[in-house]
Chain A
Amino acid sequence: MAASFWESTQRRFWMFSKEELAQMREKLCEEDPKLVQMYPLPDWKYLYIYFNQRKDIPFSPRLKECASSTRVLLQAQTDNVCIVEINRLGKRLGIRQQIIATAQIYIKRFYCKVEIRRTNPYLVITTALYLAGKMEECPQHIRLVATEARSLWPDFLSLDTSRLGECEFFLISEMNSQMIVHQPYRTLATLQSDFYLTQDEINLSWSIINDHYVTDLPLLYPPHIVALTAILLSLVLRPNSMTGAAAANNIAAAGAALAQAQVGRGGLGGNNGASSGQTTPGGAGGGPEKDKQQEARFGKVQRFAAFVAESQVDIEAMVDCTQEMISFYEVHEQYNDKATRDQVNRFVKARGLDKA
């Protein structure tokens, strides 16, 4: 349980394959298609077009992968509003990132089982933070939470704490009281010295972990996979070079490192047989000082690859996780905050969920 992720309720009940996740969401939509139609949300609308177009075409594995990753990213945009907003409230209450992360998981679990259009997302966010605070042993008074949330979203919440209390019942009930959450931060803290991470690299890993809560990854992969992916990305990505060809180059390096790890483990599908020499990130240019840094970083990537190869870590999962994170950063730039916000606010207002 708490010590072992493998025996935890998180692994037993709250980890899904992409297909399972898609099915659950589809089921929610099918329960009340009218509702879904009446209040389109950007991602789901596109999602449906996307699915309808391809309904009868047998997926090639490649296409399937493509489809599922697009779906994941599109879905992520709905949650995005919640995530942006939860960070605002969290900051206001001086709540620590780890508690926000727990609340984010609660929100994700909840919306796996409840159609978002039936809820007031602002109330759900507030409740998730309130509950996560208690669970992470940093409780905040219900009145304080309600007051701060109301001042952030005056049009969508009342000061009535009993609303929050009621939503807490709803939230806990949908989660089957399974509230203990394993997070990648702990793995990062444990491993950072093993990999000689610099403060910059730790910070970058930390923010990549923060970002992964915007995606479906927390419902797809165990926290240690996410942490290892974040570390790998922090080693191959320079801060401020997340976009463009340089990044693509570096992603290739990350992929190569993982491929190498697979080979190192002995024949687990090492089809491209990446030799270690090819994986140097960022190739040309720079003085001797820069070369030295690159060498050091290269050494770390090597160490990392060796570690992954020796361990029992699911490399396939890491490869996918890496791709999801990278696609997320690419898609994130296209995210239209205002449009999404308007659409969420529209159904909350129109259905009177702010008063329910």
Chain B
Amino acid sequence: MSLTNPQSSSSAPSSTARVPGMKRSVQATFDDPSDRGLGSGYQSKVRVVDRYKVIGFISSGTYGRVYKAVGRQGQPGEFAIKKFKPDKEGEQIQYTGISQSAVREMALCSELSNPNVIRLVEIILEDKCIFMVFEYAEHDLLQIIHHHTQNPRCPIPATMVKSIMFQLLNGCQYLHANWVLHRDLKPANIMVTSAGQVKIGDLGLARLFHKPLQSLYGGDKVVVTIWYRAPELLLGSRHYTPAIDMWAVGCIFAELLSLRPIFKGEEAKMDSKKTVPFQRNQMQKIVDIMGMPTKERWPYLTSMHEYSSLSMLQTPMMHHHSSHHQHHHSSSSKSSSSSSASTSHLEEWYYRTIGAHAGSATSSPAHGNGGGLASLGADGYKLLAGLLEYDPERRLTAQQALQHPFFSTGDKVSNNCFEGLKNTYPQRRVSQDDNDIRTSSLPGTKRSGLPDDSLARPAKRVKEA
């Protein structure tokens, strides 16, 4: 991979930084007896270990860790238990107040119910830890995309892309209809069950947006992982809408087609003064493909906080995006009003992507079923362009996207995205023994069993005000 991603080294702690006290077995992380029984204090009515048998570790993140489990009391199926990390690992754990993000996720997940949103089974508050028990999903989009980049690299079948997109949009539509903004849609957060059902997961950044007491910007200055962040957020909009989720859905659509992030920018770090920097590199990546935004296409553009910063960007050139990335010259201020500068290359990108894949599909019969991407045709481009629309007011809503001809023409969309496929995807890797958990739960390591470039993905993204 020619593009390494600097933020992976700067945002996440280096993987050589070992944390003491991590040599605990999977089960031991659930029944740490060190500070039980302080007498009169809060005691949970149910114990996690009484209800669930932990069978492995799945992943870790800023929030804590996720484990795979089965029920001990006859609960059918498998579960993913998200354990929120107490503030100080290793030391005597104290009650410090639950993070706002955990409060949001607990409250929203308790309320939501939709086939395309991950289902919460229960929440257990025990021993100063929060355990959120979810239905288990065998796959996620990051894993599926990754699988298709492996030997030989081959596209995701068209029918599967359609089904994933429809289910993803259906989940979004449900969230938005209920005034919930997800604010962190990306492949890693989109789960897929072994029955091919798509489930939007990780609502840790999600929040209600109906008549908020405080403006959305005032709450969290930075939302959405950088590659999926909408242009209005990059340009410092103080107000934002469900359209930010739809941009991310557009990015995910593109990634399902090309198997790599469409706008793979480098994140500028927050400086010490906690001011939010202009994400120039990320914006440049967007401009390279989408062309310069103009106030004709996006009337509110000029009132964006970072409007003036646009002049620092390079005018996209026809082949710029396909060439190796170069550092741009900081002082090159160019007039971006010429029509060529604002011309979108998305159509070209789209047809090159599906065409190339359509050509190579014949050489990879293993995934040849389900149709070549070329069958997605012009409707696929129109849907993509509608989602990656600069003006958030003109961007497709989830409801509009669901009614797009893309879904109504051609084969019927299945609610099992694996329907008709011959190949199967590898199961989620879970680690059991001491060795594995030690290496895979190190800070900055996102999950067990996903090597190479997926680890270079931007880590979680939020600075709570």
* Per-residue A-contact encoding for B172-215, CB less than 8 Å = 1, 0 else: 00000111100000000000000000000000000110111110
Q: In this complex, which of A2, A178, A186 has the most chain B Cβ atoms within 10 angstroms of its Cβ?
A: A2
* Per-residue A-contact encoding for B78-112, CB less than 8 Å = 1, 0 else: 00000000000000001111101001101110111
Chain A residues with CB under 8 A of B179: 2-3
B106 touches A179 (CB 8 A): yes
Q: Which residue of B lies closest to A186 (CB)?
A: B211
Chain B residues with CB under 8 A of A96: 213
B107 touches A135 (CB 8 A): yes
A138 touches B111 (CB 8 A): no
Chain B residues with CB under 8 A of A177: 106-107, 110, 123
B94 touches A134 (CB 8 A): no
A9 touches B44 (CB 8 A): no
The one of B97, B210, B464 in contact with A3, judged by C-beta atoms closer than 8 angstroms, is B210
Q: Given A162-B94, A168-B95, A172-B125, is A131 in contact with B103 using a C-beta cutoff of 8 Å?
A: yes
B41 interfacial contact with A, CB 8 Å: yes
**Chain A, 334-356, CB within 8 A of any chain B CB:** 356
**Chain A, 151-205, CB within 8 A of any chain B CB:** 161-170, 172-173, 176-180, 186, 189
**A356 vs B214: C-alpha distance when bound (angstroms):** 36
Q: In this complex, which of B42, B113, B128, B214 has the most chain A Cβ atoms within 10 angstroms of its Cβ?
A: B42
- Output the least CB separation between A229 and chain B (Å): 22
**A96 vs B213: C-alpha distance when bound (angstroms):** 9
Chain B residues with CB under 8 A of A179: 103, 106-107, 110
A135 touches B125 (CB 8 A): no
B40 interfacial contact with A, CB 8 Å: yes
A161 touches B97 (CB 8 A): yes
Chain A residues with CB under 8 A of B211: 186, 189
Chain B residues with CB under 8 A of A136: 213
- Output the least CB separation between B387 and chain A (Å): 23
Q: Given A2-B210, A4-B178, A178-B111, is A172 in contact with B106 using a C-beta cutoff of 8 Å?
A: yes
* Per-residue B-contact encoding for A111-147, CB less than 8 Å = 1, 0 else: 0000000000000000000110011111100100000
B103 touches A134 (CB 8 A): yes
**A2 vs B175: C-alpha distance when bound (angstroms):** 9
Chain A residues with CB under 8 A of B208: 2, 137, 180
A169 touches B100 (CB 8 A): no
A323 interfacial contact with B, CB 8 Å: no
**A166 vs B212: C-alpha distance when bound (angstroms):** 28
The one of A3, A9, A99 in contact with B110, judged by C-beta atoms closer than 8 angstroms, is A9
Chain B residues with CB under 8 A of A98: 213
**Chain A, 1-44, CB within 8 A of any chain B CB:** 1-4, 7-9
The one of B100, B110, B177, B212 in contact with A139, judged by C-beta atoms closer than 8 angstroms, is B100
Chain A residues with CB under 8 A of B111: 1-2, 8-9, 178, 180
Chain A residues with CB under 8 A of B213: 96, 98-99, 136-138
Chain B residues with CB under 8 A of A4: 178
**Chain A, 51-108, CB within 8 A of any chain B CB:** 96, 98-99
Chain A residues with CB under 8 A of B97: 130, 142, 161, 164-165, 168
**A52 vs B98: C-alpha distance when bound (angstroms):** 44
Q: Which residue of B lies closest to A131 (CB)?
A: B103
Q: In this complex, which of B40, B178, B212 has the most chain A Cβ atoms within 10 angstroms of its Cβ?
A: B178
- Output the least CB separation between B121 and chain A (Å): 12
Chain A residues with CB under 8 A of B405: none
The one of B45, B123, B180 in contact with A2, judged by C-beta atoms closer than 8 angstroms, is B180
Chain B residues with CB under 8 A of A173: 42, 44-45, 125
Chain A residues with CB under 8 A of B110: 9, 176-180
Q: Which residue of A lies closest to B105 (CB)?
A: A177
- Output the least CB separation between B48 and chain A (Å): 13
Q: Which residue of A lies closest to B38 (CB)?
A: A166
Chain B residues with CB under 8 A of A131: 103
Chain B residues with CB under 8 A of A164: 95, 97
Q: Given A2-B178, A135-B103, A177-B123, is A162 in contact with B42 using a C-beta cutoff of 8 Å?
A: no
Q: Which residue of B lies closest to A98 (CB)?
A: B213
A168 touches B210 (CB 8 A): no
- Output the least CB separation between A183 and chain B (Å): 11
**A8 vs B113: C-alpha distance when bound (angstroms):** 10
- Output the least CB separation between B204 and chain A (Å): 13
A166 touches B123 (CB 8 A): no
Chain A residues with CB under 8 A of B45: 173
Q: Given A135-B103, A172-B106, A180-B108, is A167 in contact with B96 using a C-beta cutoff of 8 Å?
A: no
Chain B residues with CB under 8 A of A186: 210-211
B219 interfacial contact with A, CB 8 Å: yes
Chain A residues with CB under 8 A of B41: 166, 356
A1 touches B178 (CB 8 A): yes
- Output the least CB separation between A196 and chain B (Å): 21
Chain B residues with CB under 8 A of A139: 100, 464
**A169 vs B124: C-alpha distance when bound (angstroms):** 10
A161 touches B214 (CB 8 A): no
Q: Which residue of A lies closest to B99 (CB)?
A: A134
Chain B residues with CB under 8 A of A135: 103-104, 107
**Chain B, 439-465, CB within 8 A of any chain A CB:** 464
A1 touches B113 (CB 8 A): yes
- Output the least CB separation between A208 and chain B (Å): 20
**A163 vs B97: C-alpha distance when bound (angstroms):** 9
Q: Which residue of A lies closest to B123 (CB)?
A: A177
- Output the least CB separation between B389 and chain A (Å): 25
A169 touches B107 (CB 8 A): no
Q: In this complex, which of B95, B98, B112, B178 has the most chain A Cβ atoms within 10 angstroms of its Cβ?
A: B95
**Chain A, 276-325, CB within 8 A of any chain B CB:** none
The one of A1, A142, A176 in contact with B112, judged by C-beta atoms closer than 8 angstroms, is A1
Q: In this complex, which of B123, B211, B213 has the most chain A Cβ atoms within 10 angstroms of its Cβ?
A: B213
Chain A residues with CB under 8 A of B103: 131, 134-135, 179
B106 touches A161 (CB 8 A): no
**A162 vs B464: C-alpha distance when bound (angstroms):** 21
Chain B residues with CB under 8 A of A168: 95, 97-98
The one of A162, A163, A169, A189 in contact with B125, judged by C-beta atoms closer than 8 angstroms, is A169
A178 touches B107 (CB 8 A): yes
A137 touches B219 (CB 8 A): yes
- Output the least CB separation between B29 and chain A (Å): 18
- Output the least CB separation between B119 and chain A (Å): 13
The one of A138, A142, A167 in contact with B42, judged by C-beta atoms closer than 8 angstroms, is A167
**A136 vs B208: C-alpha distance when bound (angstroms):** 9
**A172 vs B95: C-alpha distance when bound (angstroms):** 14
Q: Which residue of A lies closest to B44 (CB)?
A: A173
A142 touches B96 (CB 8 A): yes
- Output the least CB separation between B206 and chain A (Å): 10
The one of A7, A134, A138, A172 in contact with B113, judged by C-beta atoms closer than 8 angstroms, is A7
Chain B residues with CB under 8 A of A8: 111
* Per-residue A-contact encoding for B246-264, CB less than 8 Å = 1, 0 else: 0000000000000000000
A-B contacts, 24 listed (Cβ < 8 Å): A2-B179, A3-B178, A3-B179, A7-B113, A8-B111, A131-B103, A134-B98, A134-B104, A135-B104, A137-B214, A161-B96, A162-B96, A163-B95, A165-B94, A165-B128, A169-B95, A172-B106, A172-B123, A173-B45, A176-B123, A178-B110, A179-B106, A180-B107, A180-B111
* 6 further contact pairs, Cβ within 8 A, besides A135-B103, A137-B214, A177-B123: A8-B111, A137-B207, A161-B97, A169-B42, A173-B44, A180-B110
5 residue pairs, one from A and one from B, having the closest CB atoms:
A165-B95, A142-B97, A1-B111, A179-B107, A162-B95
